[in-house]
């Protein structure tokens, strides 16, 4: 059988970093050299691959919607030449990029897997080899045609993943959707569906950075702080609320939300809880938000919500359409 061919885009991140006096930094050519010198990657059972290193390579804390666009354009350009795509990325904002790509791509018929590592590939005890080998192997043999994130033997839906551990190998979780696949002695497909390769034109929706405010509620938050966030020049506000979507029933706070919603700010309610979803019908404290024009974000991750807002506001859509689509399941990012 003809060997599959995988395109690897190295954007930066720990997996290809080198130690410096200032801590880890991405180094040009270093990832490619390390992979080429590792016989595991060129075994017969592995797909053929090309690595393209971005210039400049960045720590993912420096990622912005501009970079998401670069990655999407790059994959679109190479789309016909490869069977699958692996994006090597820093872990810090990996879930944001995976979420953004999931919205930007339409008619995806090939796998796009985002991965990276917590220890550089060239170092002792690196998790980079397992992550990259598995991502390449899955992209070639388990073509789940969506944007996913592989880490520590689990393949997650990209827009459901969140960084959950700062320094452990189990750095990602998908609290509201089981992994698409689990890699053990065997690879087990759980939620993921293999799709046949159909040649269909890949569509990309360009994304540009949008002004989005985030308000993390806490006991004792003052109306001045709330007003500062709400009155700034934002198109959307993500309200990180308590439990199933509850907030203080303070009149001034609710009035500020209502006024913002009436002037066109899209307000999305997400829970501060790691797992579960918003239900503003559950308590009077949540219901008051609903009556102030706040929309449910259901069980979306913060990363998916931010990426979705960037994606929708980058298109010329009516505010009501944005509000409607924010509550619709577009790419498997929410359960309702």
Ligand X SMILES: NC(=O)C[C@H](N)C(=O)O
The residues assigned a catalytic role are 14, 91
Cα separation, 83 vs 192, whole angstroms: 17
Stretch that binds ligand X, among 58-66, 203-211, 220-228, 243-251 (CB under 6 A): 58-66
Segment contacting ligand X (CB under 6 A): 88-96, 266-274, 286-294, 303-311?
88-96
* Choice between 13 and 65, CB closer to ligand X: 13
| 120 scored as a contact of ligand X (CB under 6 A) | no
Q: How far is the CB of 17 from ligand X (least distance, A)?
A: 7
How far is 32 from 37, CA to CA, in rounded Å? Answer: 9
Of 63 and 108, which has the nearer Cβ to ligand X? 63
Say if CB 76 and CB 68 are below 8 A apart. no
Instruction: List Cβ neighbours of 61 (8 Å cut-off, separation of 6 or more).
Output: 90, 92, 93
Q: Min. distance of Cβ 11 from ligand X in angstroms?
A: 9
Contacting residue, 34, 60, 176, 271, with ligand X by CB under 6 A: 60
Q: Does 18 bind ligand X (CB under 6 A)?
A: no
Stretch that binds ligand X, among 53-61, 191-199, 228-236, 243-251 (CB under 6 A): 53-61
Residues 6+ positions from 66 with CB-CB distance below 8 Å: 209
Task: Please tell me the distance from the alpha carbon of residue 334 to that of residue 298, in angstroms, as a whole number.
Answer: 6
Which burial class, exposed, middle or buried, applies to 336 when counting CB atoms under 10 A from its CB (0-12, 13-18, 19+)? exposed
Backbone angles phi, psi at 88, to 5 degrees: -90, 125
Q: What is the DSSP letter of 46?
A: S
Judged by CB under 6 A, how many residues of this single chain contact ligand X? 11
Closest residue (Cβ) to ligand X?
90
Binding stretches for ligand X (CB under 6 A): 12-14, 59-61, 90-92, 116, 118
Binding site as annotated, residues for substrate: 60, 91-92
């Amino acid at each position: 059988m003809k060997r599959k061919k995988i395109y690897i885009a190295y954007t930066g991140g720990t997996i290809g970093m080198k130690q410096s006096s200032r801590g880890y930094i991405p180094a040009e050519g270093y990832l490619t050299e390390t992979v080429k010198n590792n016989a595991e990657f060129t075994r017969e059972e592995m797909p053929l691959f090309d690595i393209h290193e971005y210039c400049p390579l960045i720590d993912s804390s420096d990622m912005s919607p501009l970079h998401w666009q670069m990655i999407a354009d790059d994959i679109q350009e190479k789309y016909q030449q490869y069977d699958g795509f692996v994006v090597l990325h820093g872990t810090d904002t990996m879930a944001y990029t995976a979420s953004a790509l999931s919205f930007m791509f339409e008619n995806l018929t090939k796998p796009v897997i985002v991965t990276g590592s917590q220890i550089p590939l060239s170092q002792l005890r690196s998790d980079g080899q397992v992550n990259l080998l598995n991502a390449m192997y899955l992209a070639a043999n388990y073509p789940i045609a969506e944007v996913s994130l592989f880490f520590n033997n689990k393949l997650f839906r990209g827009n459901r993943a969140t960084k959950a551990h700062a320094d452990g190998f189990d750095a990602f979780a998908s609290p509201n959707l089981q992994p698409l696949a689990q890699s053990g002695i065997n690879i087990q497909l759980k939620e993921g569906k293999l799709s046949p390769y159909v040649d269909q034109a890949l569509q990309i929706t360009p994304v540009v950075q949008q002004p989005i405010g985030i308000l993390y509620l806490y006991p004792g938050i003052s109306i001045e702080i709330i007003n500062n966030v709400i009155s700034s020049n934002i198109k959307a506000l993500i309200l990180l609320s308590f439990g199933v979507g509850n907030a203080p029933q303070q009149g001034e706070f609710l009035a500020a939300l209502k006024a913002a919603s009436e002037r066109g700010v899209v307000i999305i309610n997400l829970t501060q809880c790691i797992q579960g979803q918003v239900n503003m019908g559950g308590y009077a404290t949540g219901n008051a938000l609903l009556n102030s024009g706040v929309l449910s974000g259901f069980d979306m991750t913060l990363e998916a919500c931010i990426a979705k807002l960037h994606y929708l506001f980058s298109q010329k859509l009516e505010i009501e359409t944005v509000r409607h689509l924010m509550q619709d399941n577009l790419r498997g990012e929410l359960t309702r």
